[in-house]
Amino acid sequence: MPGIGPKSAERLTFHLLRSSKANPDALGKALLELKSGLKYCTHCQMVATDDLCAICTDTSRDRSSVLVVESPLEVIAFEKTSYKGMYHVLHGVLSPLDGMGPEQLKLKELIDRAALEKIDEVIIATNPDTEGEATAIYIRQQLDKKVGRVSRLAHGLPMGADIEFADQVTLREAIAGRRSL
């Protein structure tokens, strides 16, 4: 497993052996259920233990806004911010060389949601790289006239950055996306 060599494995094993019996049993049980118990939420495609994930069943959230991300890990990242809308997980980005076309992504599910639900805004939050940009543009075309607004996360300088060491593309995007003060 990544980051665990023979020495670490030995130390972990002896820790489990020496500790009270509950520990390895609970871990073993959880590991047995890891693959069988885990499904994708039928609504947003996030990992879930039931048909719907905890976010989709939460009635206090704003259902008019959907943030589209590449993977479940990004949902966890956005959940640490004050964002209180819904999500849609694509499980990948368009990348023809890696055999990732529109059919390999959970894109049909997003278009279905746009047709069935009252979505005011879809915020595309794919990574700011070549594949992420291409995917964002493709999704916008597919959602054309199906939702109120399709937007993209802002590109620019991250907080705490040093302009002196910023790359040219980021500086260009930061100038292009400047906002009135």
Rounded to the nearest whole angstrom, what is the least distance from the CB of residue 97 to its own copies in the complex?
18
Site residue total, its own copies (CB under 8 A): 54
Within 8 A by CB and 6+ apart from 37, the residues are 49
Q: Does 178 bind its own copies (CB under 8 A)?
A: yes
The token pair at 149 is 């607004």
CB atoms within 10 A of CB 26: 10
Chain residues 108-147 in contact with its own copies, contact rule CB under 8 A: 123-125, 127-129, 136-137, 140
Residue range at the interface with its own copies (CB under 8 A); choices 7-15, 26-34, 38-46, 168-176: 168-176
CB of 84 to its own copies, least distance (A): 11
The nearest distance, CB 65 to its own copies, in angstroms, is: 10
Query: Which DSSP helix (H) or strand (E) runs through 47?
Result: strand 47-48
**Secondary structure (H, E, C), 129-144:** CHHHHHHHHHHHHHHC
* Four-residue CA torsion sign, 89, 95, 97, 100: positive
Burial code (b: 16+ CB inside 10 Å, e: under 16) for 151-175 equals ebeeebeeeeeeeeebeeebeebbe
Binding mask 39-68 for its own copies (x = CB under 8 A): ----------------------------x-
- With CB under 8 A as the contact rule, the residue among 64, 104, 142, 170 that binds its own copies is 170
Query: Out of 18, 80, 118, 145, which residue is the one contacting its own copies (CB under 8 A)?
Result: 80
Whole-angstrom Cα distance, residue 71 to residue 87?
11
Shortest distance, CB of residue 72 to its own copies, whole angstroms?
A: 10
Q: Is residue 37 near its own copies by the rule CB under 8 A?
A: no
Q: Which residues bind its own copies (CB under 8 A)?
A: 67, 69-71, 73-74, 77-78, 80-83, 123-125, 127-129, 136-137, 140, 149-181
